[in-house]
Amino acid sequence: MNIVIVGSGEVGYHLASILSRDGHGVTVVDPDPLKAQRMQESLDVQVIVGDGTRASVLADAGTSKADLMVAVTDNDHVNMLACALSKKMGAKRRIVRLRDTTQLEGYLYFYKHTLGFDVVLSTQDLAAEEIISTVRDRHALGVDSFAGGRVQLRRLRLEKEGLLTGGPLANCKLPGGVLVVAVQRKERFFVPGGGDHLEMGDQVWVIGASPDLDSFELLAAKTTSWKRNVVIMGGGGIASVVLQRLKGAPGVSIKVIEKDRGRARSVAASASSNVMVLEGDATDLTLLREERIGESNVFIATTADDEDNMVACQLARSLGVERTVALVSKASYRDIYDLLGIDQAISPRILCANSILRFVRSGSPAAIAVVGEGMAEVLELTVRRMEPTKVRDLSLPRGTVIGARVREDVVLVPSGSSTIQTGDSVIVFTLPENLASVQKLFGA
């Protein structure tokens, strides 16, 4: 595969390193001669020194013949423009990394059509989901979000006998809008039908709207009292996404410690009832003691300063916090975090690079998520040619489920009586052997 990477920062370097080892032809574009020289000397890749928003530079990189173009600079506008140019120049598949996706809210499919990206990845959203998984670690083993976060695919383990294991899946009263799309039982992976039974210990993949999935998790998990006292250091971009996603979450209470007065007030003004905002420095031991931070379950440091994050996590740990989590800007610091005993170090850039690698290794250019090591894929397809047809009448291949329908930016988790028609976007869970027939069915 011929791959053009725009940007040789942490994401670009990590991608180029692995993709070149996998035998792909990789060309990297970056305007910084020093970064370009470092990459040229250490990796088996071609490097073009230049601006990724110039057509002439992209042409020199071979974008017109590229199987994939990935724009992963730290500048959202550069990435968006490079993506739009690459579409016009003929790159077959395009992935764009954005730090902030709020500009897409309500206009995701307009931007997708206009800029021509196949997949958009937000470092903020990826890091936020990783943090939320840590806060909710009693439940979901993995989460993928689609349709601007309104639809999720969660991986769960059935921990108890009950309503989900009492008979055929068709007879289980699942929360509205939740679909069980796959089951892993020991070495067996399958997409269940209505006659299949779930068993305790199964890993299941379920798709639906977030509130409905929360209800499903209560059926799947052990019925023990569950509370989380969470402290978040910093009220910036990633923290704001976490607060929004945990808004009103049952059993979760949050304290935010932000030293910038203006930002602290802004966070407090938009916070929900389960959030308390403190103006102060989370590296101040006196403040941490006064606020009894040691009684918290999780301490999360989300500032852009790695050193402050490390110090704050060390202090929180010394006071008795059960679990410490820190964002890492410099990948080289992750080993230091381990040595210091910080439980989890989250690098938004490495999360982004690893997500892109999953797409590269998938079997379909429409893939927006890959389940496990390619056992199944989630596709996002635009329906090209179809009269209004009910889902039950689509003759979907076995092992294929429509998880969501998007029509004019309105998201629906469909039932058998829901209709699909030309112009809809559909999020489809399918086994690899069905990729070609699924894309043909929807005219994609």
Secondary structure tally for the chain: helices H, strands E: 14, 24
Confidence grade of residue 96 (pLDDT, cut at 50, 70, 90): very high
For the entire predicted model, the pTM comes to 0.64
Tell me the pLDDT tens digit for each residue of 179-220: 888 898 888 888 888 888 888 888 888 888 877 887 887 777
- Ranked by mean pLDDT, the top range of 221-235, 267-281, 328-342 is 267-281
Predicted local confidence at residue 124, as pLDDT: 85
Q: Is 281 exposed, middle or buried (0-12, 13-18, 19+ CB in 10 A)?
A: middle
* Across 80-102, average pLDDT: 92
Contact yes or no for 243/254 (Cβ under 8 A): yes
Domain spanning 134-220: CATH 1.10.10.10:
no
Residue 365 confidence (pLDDT) above 80: no
Tell me the pLDDT tens digit for each residue of 18-58: 888 878 999 999 999 999 888 888 999 999 999 999 999 99
Contact yes or no for 70/3 (Cβ under 8 A): yes
Residue 106 carries which side chain, given as an amino acid letter? G
Terminal-residue alpha carbon distance, the chain: 21
Encoded tokens for 327: 């964002």
Predicted local confidence at residue 222, as pLDDT: 59
Q: 355-441 belongs to which homologous superfamily?
A: Regulator of K+ conductance, C-terminal domain (3.30.70.1450)
Predicted local confidence at residue 296, as pLDDT: 92
Nearest-10 Cα torsion for 237, 241, 244, 245: -170
Q: Residue 316's Cα: distance from chain center in Å?
A: 28
Percent of the chain with pLDDT over 90: 35
Give the architecture-level CATH label for domain 226-327: 3-Layer(aba) Sandwich (3.40)
Tell me the pLDDT tens digit for each residue of 235-268: 888 898 888 888 777 788 999 999 999 999 999 9
How distant, in Å, are the alpha carbons of 10, 137, 179, 228, 361 from that of 250?
37, 14, 23, 9, 38
Residue 398 carries which side chain, given as an amino acid letter? R
Encoded tokens for 329: 């800007």
Confidence grade of residue 69 (pLDDT, cut at 50, 70, 90): very high
Decide whether 226-327 matches 355-441 in CATH topology. Answer: no
- Ranked by mean pLDDT, the top range of 29-33, 174-178, 415-419, 425-429 is 29-33
Between 429 and 369, the higher pLDDT residue: 429
Tell me the pLDDT tens digit for each residue of 400-410: 989 889 887 78
Residue 420 confidence (pLDDT) above 90: yes
Encoded tokens for 2: 């011929």
Predicted local confidence at residue 367, as pLDDT: 64
Predicted local confidence at residue 68, as pLDDT: 93
Percent of the chain with pLDDT over 70: 92
Predicted local confidence at residue 31, as pLDDT: 95
Contact yes or no for 228/297 (Cβ under 8 A): yes
Domain range summary for the chain, segments of one domain joined by +: 2-124, 134-220, 226-327, 355-441
Residue 389 confidence (pLDDT) above 90: yes
Is the alpha carbon torsion for 244, 245, 246, 249 positive or negative?
Answer: positive
* Spatial strand order in the sheet of 367-371: 367-371, 376-382, 425-430, 400-407, 410-412
Predicted local confidence at residue 5, as pLDDT: 97
Contact yes or no for 355/121 (Cβ under 8 A): yes
If we measure between CA atoms, which residue out of 408, 405, 409, 377 comes closest to residue 390?
A: 405
Please state, rounded to an integer, the average pLDDT across all residues of the chain: 86
The lowest-confidence range among 59-68, 109-118, 138-147, 381-390 is: 138-147
Compute the residue count for the chain. 444
Contact yes or no for 205/181 (Cβ under 8 A): yes
If we measure between CA atoms, which residue out of 209, 182, 207 comes closest to residue 193?
A: 182
- Ranked by mean pLDDT, the top range of 61-70, 130-139, 223-232, 346-355 is 61-70
Predicted local confidence at residue 373, as pLDDT: 58
Tell how strand 94-98 and strand 119-122 pair up.
parallel
2-124: CATH, from 3.20.190.10, 3.40.50.1980, 3.20.20.70, 3.40.50.720: 3.40.50.720
Residue spans of beta strands (DSSP E) within 123-248: 142-146, 151-157, 179-185, 188-190, 203-209, 228-233
Predicted local confidence at residue 433, as pLDDT: 87
Tell how strand 228-233 and strand 252-258 pair up.
parallel
Residue 6 confidence (pLDDT) above 70: yes
